[in-house]
Amino acid sequence: MPWLSAVSLLYGLLNLVFGILGFVIGGSVPSIIAGGVAGLAAIFGATLAKTHERIGYLIVTVISVLILGRFFKKAFLDQQIYPAMILALASIAMLACLTVGHFTAKKVTTVPEVPVEPSQH
């Protein structure tokens, strides 16, 4: 699913950029470490999904759940828009895309070959 790989790649870039911004604007070393690791892991998952879909998208799913878990309270209970609400909503959107991708994926099935005997008419 090329569209899902592209969305996963954008999600990884968003995390990476927000980690860099957290460091540049706020001087937050944890932001650049967490954002960098999450962003690079999501980018790695998106890239890996091109050859190993299940593992690649599983990596992106885990990153999305972790980022959502980290920012959910600040975003929805404390109503902090930047960066919490943006990253929480991006994680929800990524999880929604992964769910849609999962349920719309074509299942690969192998059909056993049945030997065909030549007909004798």
Q: pLDDT tens across 103-117, in order?
A: 998 776 666 777 777
Structure confidence by residue, pLDDT tens digits, 74-92: 998 998 899 999 999 999 9
Q: Does the pLDDT at position 1 exceed 80?
A: no
Residue tagged 């592209």 (tokens): 6
Contact between 56 and 49 under an 8 Å Cβ cutoff? The reply is: yes
Alpha-carbon distance values, 12 to 36, 61, 86, 93, 96 (Å): 9, 11, 14, 13, 15
Greater model confidence, 45 or 79: 45
pLDDT of residue 61: 97
Give the helix ranges, DSSP H, for the chain: 2-26, 29-48, 53-72, 86-104
How far apart are alpha carbons 35 and 105 in whole angstroms? 30
How far apart are alpha carbons 12 and 8 in whole angstroms? 6
**DSSP of 18-50, one letter per residue?**
HHHHHHHHH--HHHHHHHHHHHHHHHHHHHHTT
pLDDT of residue 109: 63
At a CB cut-off of 8 Å and minimum separation 6, what does 2 contact? none
Q: What is the mean pLDDT of the chain?
A: 92
Residue tagged 């609400």 (tokens): 85
pTM of the model: 0.84
